[in-house]
Amino acid sequence: MKSIDTLTPCPCGNAAGYTQCCGPLHDGKVADSAEALMRSRYSAYVLKREDYLLATWHTSTRPPNLNLGAQQPAPSWLGLDVKRHETEGDEAGRWYYLDGSFPEV
């Protein structure tokens, strides 16, 4: 089993690897763009970092907990493809996840 520090590519798909991509954000670095935030949240889902997911979730839409290990059926993540993001006024320069919509297939 590979150590989390040697994950290459990063779980979000970035060829740079976890320590150069989402790892620093999971360790407290502030995301400098909406895309970086979404990538880091995707990686957090993959790595079951519930603490990070909740910390980057806007309080207006954040659930009390995620119980990532207890969800039945467990969410199945097929990959990340950032299609588009909209920029609205930020809060003290910090990005938060608010909500998302997914097209009907």
Interface positions with Zn ion (CB under 5 A): 10, 12, 14, 21-22, 39, 43
Instruction: State how far the Cα of 13 lies from the Cα of 21, in Å rounded to an integer.
Output: 10
At its nearest, how many Å lie between Zn ion and the CB of residue 40? 6
Query: 12 vs 31, which CB is nearer to Zn ion?
Result: 12
Considering the complex, what minimum distance in angstroms separates the CB of residue 82 from Zn ion? 11
- Using only C-alpha atoms, the chain has a radius of gyration, in whole angstroms, of 14
Amino acid sitting at position 47: L
Element (H, E) at 78: none
Contact (CB, 8 A) for 83 and 44: no
DSSP 41-58: HHHHHHTT-HHHHHHTB-
Q: How far is the CB of 79 from Zn ion (least distance, A)?
A: 12
Residue (8 or 14) nearer to Zn ion, CB: 14
In the complex with Zn ion, which residue's Cβ is closer, 19 or 96?
19
Q: How far is the CB of 72 from Zn ion (least distance, A)?
A: 28
Nearer to Zn ion, 20 or 65 (CB): 20
